[in-house]
Amino acid sequence: MASSAKHHRNAIGPAVRRFRVAYGWSQNELAARCQLAGWCISRGIVAAIEGRVRWVGDFEAVVLAHVLKTSLISLFPEKINWLEFKTYVTLRPEN
């Protein structure tokens, strides 16, 4: 990549980390709680989500919100800089 700009694959990673840390959970513990909720996830996947290097599916975000005892919308930032996702999202001009 020619530019040094970061290109993220998810918008919820920072909030997942914030909630996890607030509960005093390790990444392993969050992964174990997600497994109990029915999602086969590892500590490495939690780390990749928090680091924003892994895409997060809709059902995965729902499980994370459930396990973190919060609403789905609270995992998303108030504003999203879509340029951070330009490698993965093609925005078209509004008509």
- Is residue 8 in some structural domain? no
- The 10s digit of each residue's pLDDT in 57-86 is 999 999 999 999 999 999 998 887 767 766
- Is residue 53 in some structural domain? yes
Q: Which of 87, 63, 94 is nearest to 3 (CA)?
A: 87
* Boundaries of domain holding 32: 13-73
Only one residue has tokens 């879509």, namely 82
- Is residue 3 in some structural domain? no
- The radius of gyration of the chain from alpha carbons, rounded to an integer in Å, stands at 14
Residue 50 burial (CB count, 10 A): 21
- Is residue 43 in some structural domain? yes
Single pTM value for the model: 0.82
Give me the CATH number covering residue 51: 1.10.260.40
- Is residue 87 in some structural domain? no
Residue 67 burial (CB count, 10 A): 23
Amino acid identity, position 73:
I
- Is residue 85 in some structural domain? no
- The 10s digit of each residue's pLDDT in 12-50 is 999 999 999 999 999 999 999 999 999 999 999 999 999
Domain count, the chain: 1
